[in-house]
Structures are given as structure tokens and as C-alpha cells.
């Protein structure tokens, strides 16, 4: 029950992104840019890190209802139970996704997935860190009708991974019967577009039939323009998850009356936009230098490996190291974003981060994994020294020229 299917799929994610990048390059199409891709992947890592923390609430609540309040008991291994669970889960997902666009407090989380102005497989991994916490209550009726927890976990993983492959420009149109029943790259490109006729269309996860049923379907008829109507000009994964809630707070302060202030959270993004009446600025595109890109890429590789270990061994860690691990994961993303955005303060915080990593990792291994302590000590000190030398010889001069 603890198996994380997303972690198992990581090799497939990177292989498929590599194929898509190669295919686009052969066609002379630039489907990826470094800054956007790293930000997408960092947001995906953060989502999984938060997921191991929130799973106790999400799965715990579901299992409590299933064990104590289910109305019937369904067989765990029957094919029809799995099929029933898939259809019901996918239909509830349609509504959870739709409310993620129609209610401000849920859009504040889901907006993360739409911020990229690119459309490629890495965008599929650009996930909110809190959207599951805000929407999981909608899936609890499945426990009451007896859908076993293991079936729910499997179906949830399938629906999540299914949506990965539809985030691509490489696949144009599929046979008509597939396009009619299932969600496809063509349908989902519409969902990510800001073209007026495409906004708030095609909410489906697996079956596009839900959109056809509820009159939210739109065929792809013109080239989509991706992103959000008020462009997000930051590479910071932490701020990506928080910025809309600041706008909500500003909107609530402008409203008159306690009821109207409260109802801002249930009204839509269009209402909030009119309330704030802020002009839409054309954001500058952040372009990091080669030395910064190489450094951030190295830190991302280390972050990915460390995050996988953190998630796999999360239950073994003490509360102190659980908190410290999450802080280091999120601060790594935050600081690397600052480096790509050429913020001088990021250089200072990066030195502090490297020092903290040395302290936390080596104390963890000294007290809990003594047989690996010397290897970790040598490896972490070596990487930290190399990182510090890179900072001193490459990044500082790059930043001095940028200001």
C-alpha cells in the first residue's frame, strides 16, 4: 500500500522527455527551454515531497471511513470493481478539476499547473503542492460505497500517469473514436490554452466524455497560446504555489461587507481579476547564463536523488529530519530559482544551504546509518567544496556583470 507509483515511473518520464526533446530538435522546433523545464521538474519534486507528508491525512481519512462506515464490501481483486472505481474516480476528478478553475481557493493551488508558457511533457510534472489537500474530500464517497483502499490507490496512480502523455505537441490527432471517448494531447492542449474560446474547457482526466456530457468540450481548431491570462513571471516554485493567495487577500480587502469578503474564495478568477483591476504586463523572459545553468543542473540532479531517498525512507526518519529534509528540498528550489533570476542574495543563501546540508546529512548518517557515514561524509564534502569553488569562480563574476 505504500508503493509510490510516481517514483517507479521516473525513469520513463526522463526517457520520454528526452525522446520528445530529440524529436522536436530534429523538426527544428524549440519545445523546451532550460529555466521553464527545471522549474516544472522542481514543482513535481516538491509535490511528491509534500505528498509523503499529507498522505497520513488523505489516506488515513479514507481508510477510517472505509473501515468504519462503508455501506457494502466489494471484492478487492474483481475486474469489475477496478473498472467501476476507475469510472467513478475519473468522474469525480472531472468535478474536482472543474472546481479547481471555478473556485478561487482551489484555483490558487491548481494555477501552478497552468503557469508555464510552454507545452511539453515536463509541464505534466508541474504540480501544485496543496491541491490534493484541498480536493481529496470529494473522493471520500468512494470509501462509503466500499471501494477498497488498494484499488483506489491503483486507480489514482493510473489516472495521474495517464495524464502525463497528453502534455505534448508531438502527437496531433488520433483516430476519431479515440478522440471521442478519451482525453488526448489535442484535447488537453485546448485546456492549457489562453485563447478566449479555449478557456475553462476540457477538464477530463481520462474520459473526455465527461466534457461532452456537461457541455465543457472544445475541439482544437486554432494554435493554442499557453499559460495563464495574467502571466506568471517567476521561476520560484515556492512563490508559484503562493502568489495567487496573496492576490485573493488583496481582493478580500477591497470587497465591502464580511459576506462578500468571505465569498471571494468561492468566486472565480475572472471575478477576482475585475476586483483587482490590475493591468496585465508583458513579463520579461528570464534567461540564465551558461555557468548558472550548469550549476543549477548539477544541484537539480543532486536534489532529485536526495528527494527520492527522502520519500522512500520518510517513515524511518525522526520528526526533526522529516522537517529538515523538506526545508532543504524547498530551499534548494527557492535558491536555485534565485540564481536563475540573477538575484545576488541567492549567492549568500546558497553558501548557507551548502553548509546546512553538510550538517544535516552527516548527522543523520552518523546517528542512523553509521555504516554509510564515511561514504556520505566524503561525498557530501566533495560536492559542497566543488559547488563552493564553482560559485566563487563562475557565478559571482556572472552576477557582477548582470547588475
Same domain assignment for residues 56 and 166? yes
By the 8 A CB rule, do 144 and 65 touch? yes
pLDDT band at 85 (very low <50, low <70, confident <90, very high): very high
Write down the pLDDT at residue 344: 85
Tell me whether residue 264 is in a domain. no
Q: Tell me the DSSP string of 83-128.
A: HHHHHHHHHHHHHHHHHHHHSHHHHHHHHHHH--S--SHHHHT---
Same domain assignment for residues 42 and 140? yes
Same domain assignment for residues 62 and 173? yes
The C-alpha atoms of residue 199 and residue 263 are separated, in whole angstroms, by: 23
Tell me whether residue 92 is in a domain. yes
Q: 3-12, 336-345, 354-363: lowest mean pLDDT where?
A: 3-12
Write down the pLDDT at residue 4: 72
Average pLDDT, the chain: 93
Tell me whether residue 241 is in a domain. no
Tell me whether residue 265 is in a domain. no
Task: Tell me the per-residue pLDDT of 231-257, one tens digit each, with 9 for 90 and over.
Answer: 998 999 999 999 999 999 999 999 999
Of 189, 213, 237, the residue at which a domain comes to its end is: 213
Tell me whether residue 323 is in a domain. yes
Write down the pLDDT at residue 2: 47
- Structural domain tally of the chain? 2
Task: Tell me the per-residue pLDDT of 22-47, one tens digit each, with 9 for 90 and over.
Answer: 999 999 999 999 999 999 999 999 99
pLDDT band at 13 (very low <50, low <70, confident <90, very high): very high
Same domain assignment for residues 206 and 304? no
pLDDT band at 279 (very low <50, low <70, confident <90, very high): low
User: Does the structure show a pLDDT above 70 at 403?
Assistant: no
Write down the pLDDT at residue 392: 83
What's the mean pLDDT in 68-85? 96
The C-alpha atoms of residue 159 and residue 47 are separated, in whole angstroms, by: 16
Task: Tell me the per-residue pLDDT of 126-179, one tens digit each, with 9 for 90 and over.
Answer: 999 999 999 999 999 999 999 999 999 999 999 999 999 999 999 999 999 999
Q: Tell me the DSSP string of 24-70.
A: HHHTT-----HHHHHHHHHHHHHHHHHHHHHHHHHHHHHHHHHHHH-
Helix 290-312, helix 34-69: angle, nearest 10: 20
Tell me whether residue 178 is in a domain. yes
User: Does the structure show a pLDDT above 50 at 1?
Assistant: no
Nearest to 48 by CA among 7, 1, 89: 7
> Domain limits at 296?
290-402
Same domain assignment for residues 208 and 296? no
Residues facing 117 on adjacent strands: none
pLDDT band at 56 (very low <50, low <70, confident <90, very high): confident
Amino acid at each position: 500500500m505504500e508503493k509510490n507509483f510516481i517514483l517507479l515511473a521516473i525513469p520513463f518520464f526522463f526517457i520520454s522527455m528526452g525522446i520528445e526533446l530529440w524529436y522536436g530538435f530534429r523538426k527544428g522546433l524549440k519545445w523546451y527551454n532550460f529555466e521553464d523545464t527545471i522549474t516544472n521538474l522542481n514543482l513535481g519534486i516538491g509535490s511528491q515531497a509534500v505528498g509523503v507528508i499529507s498522505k497520513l491525512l488523505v489516506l488515513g481519512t479514507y481508510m477510517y471511513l472505509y473501515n468504519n462506515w462503508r455501506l457494502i464490501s466489494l471484492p478487492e481483486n474483481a475486474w469489475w470493481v477496478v473498472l467501476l472505481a476507475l469510472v467513478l474516480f475519473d468522474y469525480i476528478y472531472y468535478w474536482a478539476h472543474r472546481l479547481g478553475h471555478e473556485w478561487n481557493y482551489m484555483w490558487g493551488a491548481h494555477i501552478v499547473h497552468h503557469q508555464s508558457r510552454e507545452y511539453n511533457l515536463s509541464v505534466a510534472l508541474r504540480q501544485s503542492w496543496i491541491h490534493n489537500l484541498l480536493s481529496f474530500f470529494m473522493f471520500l464517497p468512494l470509501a462509503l460505497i466500499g471501494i477498497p483502499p488498494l484499488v483506489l490507490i491503483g486507480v489514482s496512480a493510473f489516472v495521474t500517469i495517464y495524464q502525463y502523455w497528453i502534455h505534448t505537441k508531438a502527437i496531433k490527432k488520433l483516430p476519431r473514436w479515440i478522440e471521442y471517448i478519451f482525453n488526448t494531447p489535442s484535447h488537453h492542449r485546448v485546456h492549457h490554452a489562453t485563447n478566449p474560446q479555449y478557456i475553462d474547457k476540457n477538464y477530463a482526466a481520462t474520459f473526455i466524455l465527461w466534457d461532452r456530457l456537461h457541455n465543457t468540450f472544445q475541439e482544437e481548431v486554432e494554435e493554442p497560446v499557453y499559460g495563464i491570462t495574467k502571466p506568471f513571471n517567476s521561476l520560484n516554485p515556492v512563490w508559484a504555489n503562493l502568489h495567487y493567495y496573496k492576490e485573493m487577500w488583496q481582493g478580500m480587502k477591497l470587497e465591502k461587507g464580511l459576506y462578500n469578503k468571505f465569498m471571494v474564495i468561492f468566486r472565480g478568477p475572472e471575478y477576482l481579476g475585475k476586483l483587482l483591476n490590475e493591468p496585465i504586463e508583458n513579463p520579461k523572459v528570464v534567461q540564465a547564463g551558461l555557468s548558472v545553468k550548469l550549476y543549477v543542473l548539477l544541484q537539480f540532479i543532486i536534489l532529485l536523488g536526495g528527494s527520492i531517498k527522502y520519500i522512500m525512507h520518510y517513515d524511518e526518519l525522526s520528526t526533526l529530519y522529516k522537517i529538515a529534509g523538506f526545508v532543504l528540498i524547498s530551499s534548494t528550489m527557492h535558491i536555485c530559482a534565485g540564481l536563475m533570476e540573477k538575484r545576488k542574495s541567492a549567492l549568500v543563501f546558497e553558501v548557507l544551504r551548502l553548509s546546512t546540508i553538510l550538517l544535516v546529512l552527516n548527522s543523520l548518517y552518523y546517528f542512523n546509518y553509521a555504516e554509510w557515514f564515511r561514504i556520505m561524509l566524503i561525498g557530501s564534502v566533495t560536492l559542497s567544496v566543488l559547488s563552493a569553488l564553482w560559485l566563487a569562480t563562475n557565478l559571482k563574476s556572472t552576477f557582477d556583470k548582470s547588475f
